[in-house]
Amino acid sequence: MLLPILLTSIFCYFLRRLSEEADSAEAFGRRMEAQVESLRMQLSERASELDSAQRRLSQLEKDLVETSLSNENYRSEVARLTAQADVTQSQLREARSQANWVDADLSNVHQVCGR
């Protein structure tokens, strides 16, 4: 008679232990599921941030190309205006030189007419 009671007691003990381990495993599983979900959300956020950064980088590259083209156009315009200014200065020097000759000739004419 003692044996069935002992067997029942041992069986109840192991059943409680198995139940505790099952509860522990379920709790661990829930914690792992929550952690996986948290990591999925973080991954999704990082993917979104990466997409935004790539779009921003693409826009900045386009802006850089546009700025470079504008700068090249400005350089060309400055070079054209510098060349035009050089030509104009040469023409001005030539006009001044001719004016000096004309003044000298006019002065000579005045001297000849004044005698």
pLDDT digits (tens, 9 = 90+) for 17-63: 999 999 999 999 999 999 999 999 999 999 999 999 999 999 999 99
For 87-109, how does the pLDDT look when each residue is reduced to its tens digit (9 = 90+)?
999 999 999 888 778 777 777 76
pLDDT for 115 beyond 80: no
Write the secondary structure of the chain as one string of H (helix), E (strand) and C (coil): CHHHHHHHHHHHHHHHHHHHHHHHHHHHHHHHHHHHHHHHHHHHHHHHHHHHHHHHHHHHHHHHHHHHHHHHHHHHHHHHHHHHHHHHHHHHHHHHHHHHHHHHHHHHHHHHHHC
Output the pTM of the full model. 0.55
Four-residue CA torsion sign, 95, 96, 97, 101: positive
CA angle (107 as vertex; 106, 113 as ends), nearest 5: 85
